[in-house]
Amino acid sequence: MNNKVYLIDVTNRDGVQTSRILLPKLSKTMLNIYLDEMGIYQSEIGFPTLKHEVNYINANLELAKAGAIKRLHLEGWCRAIAEDVELSVKNCPDIKHLNISMSTSEIMLRGKFQGKKTWKDVLKTVSEAVTRAKDLGIETVGLNAEDASRTELDKLIEFVSVGKESGADRFRYCDTLGADDPITIYERIKALSLAARFPIEMHCHNDLGMGEAVSVAGAQGAIEAGVDAYINTTINGYGERAGNCDLVSTILALKFSHGLKDKLPLDEHVDLKKSWKMARYASYAFNLPIPINQPGVGANAFAHESGIHADGALKDRRSYELYDPEDVGRGEPDLLETGRVITTGAYGGIKGFRYVYSKLGIEFHDDNEARNILELVQYANLHTQKPLTDDELKLIAKYPEIVRMILTVNP
């Protein structure tokens, strides 16, 4: 163990399963590419047991093989039962990382299983699921305890040790209802880590507005106990109900908080400067605005107006700013075309298409290739239902067959 904090982004699983928001598969793919560029350790890319995710997941695994995704671990989520693990591997034979989930709290077990499963049955089921995953060649298995924050510590320790003995690689502590507070979670995670000596993931929700606070406090407990900590995040905090622990805020907390910056060593691959691009793309793809007061990436994150603040910030920015706009990748002017615009999309033709791509520095060898890519662009635009971004257009031209797989959904 390196005794560091790593980030696992779950936007493409927990974020997209949220009520009333959704994301096209091409946009999910772009998020994976951007998460990789940002140095995030792992992306929970989706549900390998869900039919409409299968082509997208396999295509992203292809992108990793082709070098378009370099370090990011692409991980699938399913229930901690052997059948789900088997179906995941059957649908996505190249998947190497899985997080498998089982409820552990009394209230959930009683409600979900209606007295049909005892605690012993639960432990047996997860043990079988972990063993099956390892037998099927899964390299890292994260064992998730849903509603861990409302589960007795003794039970969690037992759950972790069963997972560990069966071959799991990490344990995910889910504060599913966002019920923990920083002091409680710190103490619980420290005690759990000391007892289990096992890498631990913090998966915290924001129902009390403390998603980041409890995540970093839990990570501190793990680090002090000498084990690796993994924090689950989502981009712009999108997620179930009040959302999840926000990616950018978490990095900011680990880098700039007085109490944490020297105590919690963050994975050195993480590049905070990619925050602005990431947050803006996610906002565009999800069709959800970034709140004006969002840490780091909100419109007001570096704005000063009141007399005392503006005067102070002008004399010394550190009077009122903890970090600089450049730290999160801001500061460049936003160029907006106000004259003639040529775009390409669902109803585009070959001339406009060639013009748009030549502006991106991309030329095609022959008419056949151009027409093939144009057709994909038409479908991609139909699929995302909004103008394609430069990076999306580049991806389509560079990996046409993989994009074709992403766009293919057969009900």
Instruction: By CB under 5 A, name the binding residues for Zn ion.
Output: 14
Residue 14 vs 84, nearer CB to Zn ion: 14
DSSP result, 165-227: HHT--EEEEEETTS---HHHHHHHHHHHHHHH---EEEEEB-TTS-HHHHHHHHHHHHHHTTS
Residue 78 vs 397, nearer CB to Zn ion: 78
Helices (H) and strands (E) in the chain, counts: 15, 8
Residue 14 vs 53, nearer CB to Zn ion: 14
141 alpha-carbon distance from chain centroid: 17
| Rounded least distance, CB 142 to Zn ion, Å | 13
| Rounded least distance, CB 232 to Zn ion, Å | 7
**Across the strands, what pairs with 379?**
none
230, 237, 277: which is closest to 254 by C-alpha?
230
SS3 state of residue 200: strand
SS3 state of residue 369: helix
| Rounded least distance, CB 97 to Zn ion, Å | 17
Residue 97 vs 172, nearer CB to Zn ion: 172
| Rounded least distance, CB 84 to Zn ion, Å | 17
| Rounded least distance, CB 176 to Zn ion, Å | 6
CA atoms within 13 A on the CB side of 258: 0
Residue 33 vs 247, nearer CB to Zn ion: 247
SS3 state of residue 181: coil
- Neighbour count for residue 309 (Cβ, 10 Å): 13
Residue 9 vs 14, nearer CB to Zn ion: 14
Find where tokens 């005892």 sit.
118
Integer Cα distance of 44 and 46 in angstroms: 6
Residue facing Zn ion at closest CB distance = 14
Residue 75 vs 392, nearer CB to Zn ion: 75
| Rounded least distance, CB 280 to Zn ion, Å | 24
59, 75, 9: which is closest to 38 by C-alpha?
9
SS3 state of residue 161: helix
